[in-house]
Structure 1
Amino acid sequence: METIQAIYDFLQTRTWLQVNDPEEQIVFLAAGEYNENYLITVEEIYGTARHVFRINHGSQLGLANQIEYEFAVLRALARSGVTPRPYYCEPDPGFDELGNGVLLMEYLPGRPLDYAKDWREAASIFAAVHAQPVDDRLIPQPDPVRDIARECEGLIGRYPDHPMTEARDRLLRYRERVLETADEFQTLTADDKPVMANTEVNSHNFLIDDETGRGWLVDWEKCVVTSRFQDLGHFLVPTTTLWKTDFEFGREGRRDFVAAYLELCRAKAGSGMDLETALRCTEIMERTILLRAISWCYMAHYEYTQDGRALRNEDTFARIEQYLDRMAWFFESKT
């Protein structure tokens, strides 16, 4: 209730929205590791309108201006038609409950993505996003295999007193194997233009509206300018699909998804990469994203077992523990 009151008090100082009854018009929507979302319903001249009020509490990218960065990403993607439209941003809202900044954006209806029946819509969303002109103000990641491996080294070594030393050693060995594919990936993608990639494409970051058949990709806090295969690899890797569901892509499912994506890209931009090359690029990125996922779990396990974490999700902690327990299986699945 304190946060809802803070949102209401903040909006009284702005002209963003007219809220008269915070208990009725402002409700909690969802929270992740670094952000909280609230649904605000207001009456406007054309009828009832719904908006998302997003509160930032930290940055996976290590940015001091995280909420402004995400706002810039959403503005850059506004013409894609598959992302929420941003309205306002305030990096210094002046209320402790409003964290490190807030933004107001479009509310989009829908349910989480069902991998078995919605994978074609996901391919269409990726094709639309990746066709957008790149905003040069966004963080570049031109060498994603090495860049992610470097990020993982930081995650693994962030807490020197981490007690899970065996897990650390296994992660470092797998990291060396991933780095062996970096030159091959750079050669295969040398003529492929960089895109704005979400890099966190789990099923709950998609919204599918069954009434209209439309789909959207939300939660753009970790967008970078990089290879499009980072999104494809992240979408297909089992650490993503198993995070919220019990689904795994088989060999033919992977092939069908990448083929559908390439076909949609060709329809938008003409000729492109052949399927076998695209599959190899996706495979390399799957292995790399797997390293990042387990490295983050290793780091987050330490944070979750310490006092003072601002946001704590017990379902997330349970999944972190499960992934660390199954580390060997994950690595063997991508050998």
Structure 2
Amino acid sequence: MADVVHGDRVAGATGRDGTGVLQLDSISLRVLTPNAEVLQAVMGMLLPACSAAEPAAAVQWTLRVEEHRTGVGDAGELFQGRLLLELPYGGRRLAVVGMDGGVMRLVAAYRRGALPVVMEVDARQRVTRLLVRSGDGIGLRWADYLARVFFASRLLGAGWRMLHASAVAVDGRALVFLAGRHGGKSTLAHRAVRNLRAQFLADDLVLIGPGGTVVGWPTRVAVPAQLAGDAAGRRERRVVAGVVRERVLFTPAQHRATLGVEYSPPVPLGAVVIVDGSGAAEAGVRAEAADAQTLGRAVAGAADVPQQLLYVSDPLGLMGGPRLADQSAGAAPPVGLLAGVPAAVLRVALERLPQAPIWQAVEGVVSGLGRRR
């Protein structure tokens, strides 16, 4: 079944009975829920990083999302005295409350102050059941979180690597942007969508397979205010190294619907651009070929993502994925991950990135970009 994403709606991806099947690299997940909006939200988040399979397709795991009228109790009392898993930056908390007949039962809160939800994990039946109080929109957000954990934990266990990078697809191949924190990755990805008619992959995290396949991992999208214009979204303003940074934040569905951005499915690796803004204020815009040592350093820095990996790992076995030790055992070293493809170092002052003639500069190293402007 083809993946079709129109704005914030998914066409042809779900069955009439509240069933959707997602697939990525021979890994497949069934999502069951009577709530059509929840199913659309999960499918809309994961497509087109994943593809949509027929609802009757065979799968490795099933996620059932159910709503009920009564709550499960006070969050403070439920978590008190239990061993907690708490994720940084957002306060998601999970605690195992019991095992019965091989089914692990947990309580979880998506963020501090949120209503608790219940998760039941049946490894023998390969089913995770998410129970949320009716009307609890925050609790329902666990659904796409669990779906992302299912795929990412298995891919990482199979030798894929996660990079702190942005990427777009140009002529069916991935153009990956590497930079330090607040180094311009999002700006380059969104400029490429606008200037090069590129398809969007990701502006923060990408997964790269052992064979060079690039998957844009679905996360919140942060568009530089200069490129978002008057688009409605949550605005964030920070001062970084003395420079004011204002961004507009979207979910992937909002990003597609509000700005009309076309997303790309997984594509082969094509080229790499490394952003270097150090000492470039008076030097204009320059690009040069990146040697193996420079590329290796940039990749090693981008692969250092311990906090991000926590959000796509499955240490409690929520979705039957590999544990952290098994997951890391399959990871290839980052050195050489992007070797063998054209790579350029782009030297430009970061404050100039939104307007500078960057594609013409990069064209001499990574062909086929400047002339598309």
Same fold (TM over 0.5): no
Structure (1 or 2) with the greater helix fraction: 1
Question: What's the TM-score once normalised by structure 1's chain length?
Answer: 0.26
Question: What's the TM-score once normalised by structure 2's chain length?
Answer: 0.24
Larger Rg: 2
